[in-house]
Chain A
Amino acid sequence: MLAAVCVACAVLPLLADGQQPRASEYQVKAAYLFNFSRFVSWPAQGSGDASAPFSICVMGKDPFGQVLDATVAGENIGGKSVVARRLAQAEQPSNCRVLFISSSEESRLREILAALDKTSVLTVSDIAHFAERGGMIQFVLQDNRVRFEVNLASATGAKLTLSSELLKVAVEVRKGAPPGQ
């Protein structure tokens, strides 16, 4: 666990230090994806499988490659081991705790988000206007640095509790009602 945290912590500041090799955009996003999980509380799953791992899923064309697997390797959140999963085309993401929706799925975004309605899955993407369109966390690039926007209303609607520490570092926190409400 220590190794992965060190990777996550060491990779991120590289973006800001000009003298050192820069971490790739998706290295940083993978670290962020894992770190989001540490600042979000999911509702207790009464009938869920207690032994099921904590899944961070990728839907669509995977931009992370092995980076995401390396980031979550050996990690655990709330006593559950963290695994990175790539979803097949027809696979339902309801067993995922965190779902990264790849930009290849932009045309299906409305459909995907509608299918996730009433499920406690943290949705993350770098699709433009993702947070505006009802997604929970959207990666944005600001001055060549990876930042993120949060749609708090969407997260609250999915019964997810986002830590104030997470909101503190978001570039924008949308508090309005999610679309469709």
Chain B
Amino acid sequence: MSLAGKLTRMNLLVTATGLLLACAGFVAYDFVTIRQGLVNNLSIQAQVLGSSSVSAILFNDRASAEHTLAALVAAPNVVSACVYTPDGRPFARYRREKAAGIPDQAHPQPGDVARHWFEHGNVLVLDPIVFQGNPAGFIFIESELNAFWAQIQKYLVISVLVLLGALLVAGAPFCSRFRRWRKLRVKSRKNGTIRCVREAIPRPS
């Protein structure tokens, strides 16, 4: 292999490695931040629903709590949800239509603090419901990670496209066909210039 070829390959390899590392870093960062964002959003959702369920728990109005949980129908990722009494007994449940989630799988204990965990490819959030500084119950929400994976997939596709584009741009100047095309272009430019000069200078009669 010629020296030019070796240089070309080395240049491409360095570029590719750099880009690959950069893309991996970005995707890893996005993986963590999107996942954390998803958990935060779900936790906020749980807190909103929890505070809306306080009076239902305190006045033993199951129908009202179920009505509150039914608002989750607007969140297609949520598989199931459950409101618990302060001693951890299921009080009201929600399950998305045709979903396989179990609404009361959290089994909270009095004194439990907010937590989240991942199970069967879903994220599960348990939040204590606090009213006027006192525990009033718990709320549990299970959500699918479809949106998360779709986002990660989108980032991966963008990264691969950027990588390919960058490699194409980086490799083009060293490609033999490109070099040949450039030589031809330079040659034709030179010829054009000579022709112009010839035409501009009047021939002695």
Contacts and interface: CB of A to CB of B under 8 A. Distances in A.
Contacts of B137: 9
Contact of B55 (A1, A15, A145, A169): A169
B45 to A, nearest CB: 18
A125 to B, nearest CB: 17
Given A5-B136, A165-B54, A35 B59 contact: yes
Interface string A12-31: 11011100000000001001
A39 B134 CA distance: 14
B94 interface: no
A1 B56 contact: no
B171 interface: no
Identify whether the interface residues of A are mostly helix, strand, loop, or mixed. helix
A8 interface: yes
A10 interface: yes
A147 B63 CA distance: 12
B11 interface: no
Contacts of B42: none
A31 B55 CA distance: 12
A163 B87 contact: no
A9 B136 contact: yes
A174 interface: no
Contacts of A169: 55-56, 59, 61, 64
A50 interface: no
Contacts of B55: 39, 163, 165-166, 168-169
Contacts of B86: 5-6, 9-10
Contacts of B58: 8-9, 12, 31, 35, 38
Contact of B62 (A5, A8, A16, A148): A16
A165 B59 CA distance: 10
B132 interface: yes
A145 B60 contact: yes
A21 to B, nearest CB: 14
A5 B60 contact: no
Interface in A143-158: 145-148
B57 interface: yes
Nearest to A20: B89
Contacts of A168: 55-56, 64
A102 B59 CA distance: 21
A100 interface: no
B134 A1 contact: yes
B140 interface: no
A114 interface: no
Interface string B125-138: 00000011111110
A15 B60 contact: yes
A2 interface: yes
A6 B134 CA distance: 9
Most buried by A among B86, B131, B134: B134
Given A5-B86, A9-B57, A147-B59, 14 more contacts: A5-B134, A6-B135, A9-B58, A9-B136, A15-B60, A16-B60, A16-B62, A28-B60, A145-B60, A146-B60, A147-B61, A148-B59, A169-B59, A169-B61
